Structure 1
Amino acid sequence: MPVKTIEPARQTFTQDEAFNASVEYFKGDDLAARVWVNKYALKDSDGNIYEKTPDDMHRRIAREIARIEQRYANPLSEEEVYDAIKDFKYIVPQGSPMAGIGNPFQIASLSNCFVIGNQGDSDSYGGIMKIDQEQVQLMKRRGGVGHDLSHIRPKGSPVKNSALTSTGIVPFMERYSNSTREVAQDGRRGALMLSVSINHPDSEDFIDAKMEQGKVTGANVSVRIDDAFMKAVRDGENYTQKYPVFSENPKNVKDINAGKLWKKIVHNAWKSAEPGILFWDTIIKESVPDCYADLGYKTVSTNPCGEIPLCPYDSCRLLAINLFSYVDKPFKKDASFNFELFKKHLNIAQRIMDDIIDLELEKVDAIIAKIDADPQSEEIKAVERNLWLNIQRKALEGRRTGIGITAEGDMLAALGIKYGSEAGIEFSVEIHKTLALEAYRASVNTAKERGAFQIFDSEREKNNPFILRLKEADEKLYFDMLEYGRRNIALLTIAPTGTTSLMTQTTSGIEPVFLPVYKRRRKVNPNDKNVRVDFVDEVGDSWEEYVVFHHRFKEWMEANGISTDKNYSQEELNKFVKKSPYYKATSNDVDWMSKVKMQGAVQKWVDHSISVTINLPNDATEELVGKLYMEAWQAGCKGVTVYRDGSRSGVLIANDEKDEEQETMLTPFPTKRPEILDADVVRFQNSKDKWIAFIGLIDGKPYEIFTGFADDEDGILIPRWVNEGYIIKARNDDGSSRYDFQYKNKRGYKTTIEGLSHKFNPEFWNYAKLISSTLRHGMPIEKAVELINSLQLDSESINTWKNGVARALKRYVADGTEAKKQKCENCNSTSLIYQEGCLTCKDCGSSKCG
């Protein structure tokens, strides 16, 4: 009889043990420690933590990579892998690979990015709903998702159902956006990119969709712009939109003034930072995978941050190279870049990336096995199962990888080169050219040992501009690729590195430093000895302000004999910054045109794309935004996003700016309630209680709110699919007023629920009248939320109600609005803003929803 092997119990650590050990690991950086413990330390669903410091994580990853290496010739050892990834110094798996490799507690993908879409005719409700379900299934596995809407017929097109004409793109934008918000409403929110071609007749509606406050808040949006449109804008000509897009036999044709639509794109981006722009002809022309478009590799959209254009059902895993660590003698006059070590590690990094594909295929097998074992019927499971089979096939067939970088800004500073200067652009291009050549060389070498990706065909790729660039730079590499093939269909990207850069303690991605020095606050006990109180908040808590140096700026100070332990005045700090290589090289200082030129020059050596944001001051003009977009197209960028300081649709502008827009936004609602109001229905759960809120709207802004228990004998019972309708003020037989809710059922008939006021607990109703009164008289929503949070209520049920009302209203707070009376639970910063209904910390990036 076989003996059953019992796995030894794993050692666990408390949150405090892991945090304190990680603070020591990060040399006192409590923010990096908190991010690692919360996001990447190995833990189970009960919250047990199995790793004490990132070193445990790096050992876990190295073991798994080495296990895969043993399948192939000339394997890397566990120690070789560990030496390359330890301490976040050289090679850094990003996000999902870092959390998921060797994680037995979570059935999830290792991919960071996915794009989905239907083959052929997908303009049916069935096709649209299929994409909706696939999006949700991916997001529950913590993947970011993108898909394109250009296949949906324009508004007013004839259809053969009861509606007779189609509703167009915008309602489906809202559907997909809502799905994103719903799938992770009490935890980490999914990320979604929606795109559409400028050639689509509804593209103007798409461009305007997010300008209405509270609409499409769960998605980023980008417009796919072709060269013909850009030339029409440049030359002052008209442009022809078609449906199907670019069809030779279109069903719908529309001639437009290209310049007028261009101005709308520019205005909206200036005002709200969206839509982003994707220069689609450049993306397709440069794309190596599109050489295999007829085999299913036609690029249709991008991931949520735009750095990975993908075909339907392909995915990508991300890894960053820490450029700062290759600078020998940083911040010294004889500082230099160690190209030999850089090349050596790029070879290792590309092998690791290929190993991670094998690990991903194991994860997908586990996901499919779980789906098969689930008790639901095969009919219900079919969409999810087919989704993962499609993803499995693309990963196995193309073996796409995503090597990128972080710390570009710090690398340049450490070499004494100003970010954005001609010398800076030239050196960055040299770095990325080297990266491209060595990564492709590593992929060819791996193909010699492991075989090329399944559909490799050099004949298909022979005229691709990116491949020809490699040939011109290194003929031997090119001819080796002809002989042996390549292991991976595409290899490179530059992604935002977010939390990764917090742990590498460097600048993020390709971006310059945000600020070399800034201030933070920590709570103190004013009765303690030797404590300094710099600030007392509204509730009486005492805070000490202290200076935080960007880690590499601190290294510059030490290299130049400046103590980092003293308390300096702001004037002294300004002098230090002025002497440093970070002076006039922050994200707000860098010349915007130079940044665009740098992106275009670097893009020539990145086969996917680059995620980069051009930060502009609040007083930047729309004309400047238009010039930057035009320059980006001419420079060869694949995409571009601008962010003007303080811009987000609907954000209240600064008090010292007395313009007409501010006066309009602060004007109260009409005091006489209209008889009928549009209404949103919001459901939420607190503890075990299920709640429902009816929010009356005027111009998309909350005017009144009614809430109570949902789906029980004492509450409101309406179908789960109802998320909007009307609140109607009516009269009872005795002349008293009441509020009815009306919605259309699936047959299109009106259904009315009479007397919301009688359906709810009287205490809830009274508070609802109070809050509705503040909304009707123009109180900003974020202030109303603060008022609700400050209510001192006795019973548990009314406090639960209070929390639910606040959550419901937060959905309508404009993105970018400051939350002045709240503090970050991660770092105690008071620099919190609302972002898609969640509170987001500008200092540490942590987000809290609900």
Structure 2
Amino acid sequence: MRSTSNSRKHTPEIVMEIAQPIKTYTTEEAYQASFQYFKGDDLAARVWVNKYALKDSFGQLYELTPDDMHRRIAGEIARIEERYPNPLSENEIFDLIRDFKYIIPQGSPMTGIGNPYQIASLSNCFVIGNDGSSDSYGGIMKVDQEQVQLMKRRGGVGHDLSHIRPKGSPVKNSALTSTGIVPFMERYSNSTREVAQDGRRGALMLSVAIKHPDSEQFIDAKMEQGKVTGANVSVRIDDDFMRAVERGAQYTQQYPIFGDNPLYQKDIEANVLWKKIIHNAWKSAEPGILFWDTIIRESVPDCYADLGYKTVSTNPCGEIPLCPYDSCRLLAINLFSYVKQPFTAEASFNFDLFKKHIAAAQRIMDDIIDLELEKIDGILQKIDEDPEEEEVKRIEKNLWLNIRKKAKEGRRTGIGITAEGDMLAALGLRYGSDEGTAFSVEIHKTVALEAYRGSVHTAKERGAFAIFDAEREQNNPFIQRLKEADGQLYYEMLEYGRRNIALLTIAPTGTTSLMSQTTSGIEPVFLPVYKRRRKVNPSDKDSRVDFVDEVGDSWEEYVVFHHRFKEWMVINGHDTAINYSEKELEELVRQSPYYKATSNDVDYLKKVKMQGAIQQWVDHSISVTINMPQDVTEDIVGECYMEAWKSGCKGVTVYRDGSRSGVLISNSEKKETPEAKIVTPFPTTRPQTLHADVVRFQNKKDKWIAFIGLIDDQPYEIFTGFADDEDGILIPRWVNEGVIIKNREADGSSRYDFQYTNTRGYKTTIEGLSHKFNPEYWNYAKLISSTLRHGMPIEKIVDLISSLQLDTESINTWKNGVARALKRYVPDGTEVSKQKCQNCQSTNLMYQEGCLTCKDCGSSKCG
């Protein structure tokens, strides 16, 4: 569908003039056409059709291939260009964005630009909250509502909890003392999980300052299984804390966290809390770390902190630190496309074309701000027209008015890159090497200088952002680096100002990289060659069985080449159609520039230093993950975190292999067959004592609790029933594990007691789990425990429970709760049969973190 920019009116996009019937397509038609567009890449085709093709709320598709999408986007940007001198034409813009080759608007801009069927923002991410002066219930509920209102418009949200008073603080209401941070973490997390975003869950970042007295509870909150599952969490760490860790000294926590006269203060051993952060990150990849003093010191917008631009938190992936009610739209430049004669001895980087396109990208980003302002006007119009009372609409309306003010006043942009790993490989440079890092730094220095130059030139034509003040910025370290690198640019900025308050970021480009068929963001290649498994029916014609699992299901294993590795193969004369043996594949990789350059190969400390060096040329931040093998020690994680601080990183996240399971299979992994697989059976006699997890969940208005006895971390038995949270008869909220002890009653019957260790180190016993719950629940629990003890796969038990036909509403509610509790133990990557995705009707479903996730469209159903 082509857009005709010259005939469009300058009105919000919710108004659409239709002169003739618009062509629509079925999902299958769009998939087949996109499959051809992506040259047989099934995953890229499905991602585009399900996430980015223009569709209405009834599921009708209005675009056949990404060419239609890119024409739609180009037409709208060209319409904005016409408002200003020297406009880019629609065809010029289309040539820049077509085929995901050079400039790629990300996520919300790609979906929302020119979309008349969806009243949504074009911003990828927001930060909300207050100035830290209010921790009243009203203020906390206001943030909760603002979060939901943004998520329903497709935005990812971040906010900070450091303003909430610590647990046990006196309050002037019936509670007498504060509950602290953790209950509100759960509230915000649950709100996130309730909001549907076109088949996705909302995205949320919660942060807290290490200086806050409840920061330890915040750091531990996600370690309880099933808790705070709807949010990423990061700790804001200051330089004083890091220096205390280095010296092995004490560190003072206080509330409020700023100010000379705190209401509450305590001294802690910095290293004790540091080791807890390291252990939790090693075990579960969270919390992430934000080096807050570095963020504030380097932040250009914080030069305007007194005007409302004080940074308080980040977006969900951490690459955009923001002030309250500011937002950002993201765009990526595909670095691979600027390599001339890739994967040859003559390979070189086209800096001239690269610089030209950076300037165009910055101009396009500024146009997208104007489009966003139109979208916000459309949202405000929708709010005004809604039939609710004005009081009901007040918070939502004020939220968008605040966001509009920040977008119009600061005009913040988010230019980033993708395909860093492929670019280096195409040039014959190994990711993580000194030479490779030096070239990457030169690339990002170029992006910074040319983006800022573009913003200055745009200011000359269109005017500077409203509150630009060169004197405020003159001592900012980032601005000083620009001045040192290019004095002419700096003095032009003094003369004309700058169009945008901040410009640069490096985001994780997940689906973007799938469609550009490159490595993601700043990351190296995950694997140049990997295997996937596909379930097959052995009786199917031409089927091949490579693997039979422990329940007898047959699987075919097939090799998948990373797209640019495949390009290297073709350029260097290797046949891509051969069914290579494992040894031959290993030799191919050894010959390639991807050898020793995968996410698990790159030296951890070198990657951290690379991130720190590049950070010097990114005014926002960088989303990057330090990948580590499963056997890495906690001490090494600590070394990486310390080096990240010293290297000038603004944040860091580690991922230890196995801490969250994936679905890809390493080539070196040994195939398992029923004969080769060693299965440790459950004991025939129940041990007297079992370690147990405590899982809490809510169905409708009823609160439930499950005690799950484990052997080798696998469920062996389950006890469930109503949780009595009001008077704490069952168990305190903070207890998430303990032991289940089997005892004998005087009459010879069995009694199951739950025992946990309280905060003072004493053991507390809850006697007779089987007597605490409804006898009917107990009888069903015995049946389910029996299937668990005989080794039936958990996903099959979940299916069995879900299919039970029970008479009463309470028993059905209990049934659903048991299924939810057990889903948490289904291994990630387990495929599901006989169910369809509610979003795209695909049967390609698997379990991921206890949720049914569609591998085709990414939709996730939990609970």
Shorter-chain TM-score bucket reads 0.7 to 0.9
Distance in 2, matches of 1:240 and 1:667, equals 52
Pick the aligned partner of 1:787 from 782, 797, 818: 797
Gaps of 5+ in 1: 656-661, 685-690, 708-715, 729-753
1:373 deviates by: 1.1
Pick the aligned partner of 2:50 from 26, 38, 46: 38
Deviation per residue, 1:45-66 (Å, 9 max, x gap) = 1111111101110000001100
Distance in 2, matches of 1:599 and 1:665, equals 49
Query: What is residue 201 of structure 1 aligned with on the other side?
Result: 213
1:253 deviates by: 1.1
Code of the aligned partner of 2:223: M
Code of the aligned partner of 1:44: D
Pick the aligned partner of 1:399 from 398, 404, 411: 411
Distance in 1, matches of 2:103 and 2:213, equals 45
Query: Are 1:118 and 2:118 matched, yes or no?
Result: no
Distance in 2, matches of 1:271 and 1:330, equals 40
Query: What is residue 97 of structure 2 aligned with on the other side?
Result: 85
1:512 touches 1:586 (CA, 8 Å); kept in 2? yes
Query: Are 1:485 and 2:493 matched, yes or no?
Result: no
1:426 deviates by: 0.1
Distance in 2, matches of 1:360 and 1:165, equals 43
Matches within 5 A, 1:333-732: 333-522=345-534, 526=538, 529-535=541-547, 543-647=555-659, 680-683=696-699, 694-697=704-707, 703-705=718-720
2:798 touches 2:819 (CA, 8 Å); kept in 1? no
Distance in 2, matches of 1:827 and 1:616, equals 36
Code of the aligned partner of 1:69: E
Query: What is residue 25 of structure 2 aligned with on the other side?
Result: 13
SS in 2 for 1:487: coil
Q: State which drifts further: 823-832 or 588-597.
A: 823-832
2:719 touches 2:778 (CA, 8 Å); kept in 1? no
Deviation per residue, 1:29-54 (Å, 9 max, x gap) = 01100000000000111111111101
Distance in 1, matches of 2:59 and 2:860, equals 19
SS in 1 for 2:235: strand
1:96 touches 1:112 (CA, 8 Å); kept in 2? yes
1:214 deviates by: 1.5
Residue 6 to residue 272, structure 1, CA distance change in 2 (3 Å): closer
Query: What is residue 242 of structure 1 aligned with on the other side?
Result: 254
Distance in 2, matches of 1:564 and 1:672, equals 52
Matches within 5 A, 1:213-292: 213-292=225-304
2:798 touches 2:823 (CA, 8 Å); kept in 1? no
1:672 deviates by: 12
Query: What is residue 306 of structure 1 aligned with on the other side?
Result: 318
1:122 deviates by: 1.5
Code of the aligned partner of 1:640: V
Distance in 1, matches of 2:242 and 2:690, equals 48
Distance in 2, matches of 1:513 and 1:549, equals 11
Code of the aligned partner of 2:443: I
2:682 touches 2:791 (CA, 8 Å); kept in 1? no
Query: What is residue 317 of structure 1 aligned with on the other side?
Result: 329
1:606 deviates by: 0.3
Distance in 2, matches of 1:194 and 1:596, equals 23
Distance in 2, matches of 1:664 and 1:180, equals 38
1:246 deviates by: 2.9
SS in 1 for 2:832: coil
Query: Are 1:834 and 2:848 matched, yes or no?
Result: yes
1:771 touches 1:784 (CA, 8 Å); kept in 2? no
Distance in 1, matches of 2:24 and 2:808, equals 38
1:845 deviates by: 6.2
1:388 deviates by: 0.7
Distance in 2, matches of 1:519 and 1:843, equals 17
Distance in 1, matches of 2:390 and 2:780, equals 47
1:213 touches 1:812 (CA, 8 Å); kept in 2? no
Query: What is residue 13 of structure 2 aligned with on the other side?
Result: none
SS in 2 for 1:261: helix
Distance in 1, matches of 2:444 and 2:473, equals 21
Query: What is residue 26 of structure 1 aligned with on the other side?
Result: 38
Query: Are 1:145 and 2:157 matched, yes or no?
Result: yes
SS in 1 for 2:451: helix
Query: What is residue 67 of structure 1 aligned with on the other side?
Result: 79
Residue 606 to residue 209, structure 1, CA distance change in 2 (3 Å): same
Distance in 1, matches of 2:500 and 2:727, equals 47
Pick the aligned partner of 2:784 from 771, 776, 785: 771
Distance in 2, matches of 1:281 and 1:139, equals 29
Give the alignment's TM-score, normalised by structure 2.
0.84
Deviation per residue, 1:399-428 (Å, 9 max, x gap) = 100010100000000000000000011000
1:217 deviates by: 1.2
1:827 deviates by: 13
Residue 678 to residue 635, structure 1, CA distance change in 2 (3 Å): closer
Pick the aligned partner of 1:163 from 175, 184, 190: 175
SS in 2 for 1:641: strand
1:696 touches 1:726 (CA, 8 Å); kept in 2? no
Query: Are 1:192 and 2:204 matched, yes or no?
Result: yes
Distance in 1, matches of 2:83 and 2:528, equals 46
Give the alignment's TM-score, normalised by structure 1.
0.85
1:681 touches 1:723 (CA, 8 Å); kept in 2? no
Query: What is residue 732 of structure 1 aligned with on the other side?
Result: none
Distance in 1, matches of 2:132 and 2:643, equals 35
Residue 437 to residue 667, structure 1, CA distance change in 2 (3 Å): farther
Code of the aligned partner of 1:770: L
SS in 1 for 2:524: coil
Gaps of 5+ in 2: 1-15, 662-668, 671-679, 732-770
Residue 351 to residue 797, structure 1, CA distance change in 2 (3 Å): farther
Code of the aligned partner of 1:329: Q
1:534 deviates by: 2.8
1:800 deviates by: 14
SS in 1 for 2:319: coil
SS in 1 for 2:57: coil
2:832 touches 2:846 (CA, 8 Å); kept in 1? yes
Code of the aligned partner of 1:634: K
2:845 touches 2:852 (CA, 8 Å); kept in 1? no
1:155 touches 1:166 (CA, 8 Å); kept in 2? yes
Residue 532 to residue 427, structure 1, CA distance change in 2 (3 Å): same
Q: State which drifts further: 568-577 or 4-13.
A: 4-13
Distance in 2, matches of 1:348 and 1:438, equals 10
1:778 deviates by: 11
Query: Are 1:818 and 2:828 matched, yes or no?
Result: yes
Distance in 1, matches of 2:604 and 2:346, equals 30
1:183 deviates by: 2.1
SS in 1 for 2:201: coil
Query: What is residue 734 of structure 1 aligned with on the other side?
Result: none
1:285 deviates by: 0.3
Residue 223 to residue 5, structure 1, CA distance change in 2 (3 Å): closer
1:185 deviates by: 9.4
1:693 touches 1:705 (CA, 8 Å); kept in 2? no
Query: What is residue 190 of structure 2 aligned with on the other side?
Result: 178
1:544 deviates by: 3.2
1:211 deviates by: 1.3
Code of the aligned partner of 1:603: Q
